Amino acid sequence: MSLLVSSEQSVGEIERRLRIPQPTVSKHLRVLREAGFVEATVDAQHRLYRLRPEPFQEVDAWLAPFRRFWSRHVDALERHLDRLDQLPPPSKKTRRKR
């Protein structure tokens, strides 16, 4: 779906960029369209897909009260990952033959 955030895309463009077979792309887009997350317009012989922002806004509003439950944990994870980035890489130990 991230390909559709910035612009409309055809099935062929999505297929080329993600290197996924056309039938798979079409199936995913059909599911997203039926769920209301994307919409399609016809341009000559191409069907162009774009995201519909409304369903994502609804999900965001629904999640708002729950964010307090995980935001503290996500912040702690971010701090932990930052500390890991600052550690020197682990040394490679050679295995002794038995």
Q: SS in 3 state form for the chain?
A: CCHHHHCCEEHHHHHHHHCCCHHHHHHHHHHHHHHCCEEEEEECCEEEEEECHHHHHHHHHHHHHHHHHHHHHHHHHHHHHHHHHHCCCCCCCCCCCC
Q: What is the pLDDT of residue 48?
A: 93
53 backbone dihedrals φ, ψ, rounded to 5°? -70, -25
Check whether residue 69 and residue 29 sit in a common domain.
Answer: no
Domain limits for position 36: 3-51
Let me know whether 68 and 41 are in one domain: no
Average pLDDT in the 25-41 region?
94
Q: Is 91 inside any structural domain? A: no
The predicted structure's pLDDT at residue 39: 94
**This model's pTM is above 0.95:** no
Of 52, 32, 49, 31, the residue nearest 40 (C-alpha): 49
Query: Could you tell me if residue 94 is inside a domain?
Result: no
Q: Is 97 part of any domain?
A: no
Q: How many domains does the chain have?
A: 2
- Do 45 and 66 belong to one domain? no
Model pLDDT for residues 52-72, shown as the tens digit of each residue: 999 999 999 999 988 888 888
Q: Domain for residue 38, yes or no?
A: yes
Cα–Cα distance for residue pair 16/61, rounded to 1 Å = 34
Q: Give residue for tokens 């290197």.
A: 19
Q: For strands 9-10 and 38-43, give the pairing.
A: unpaired
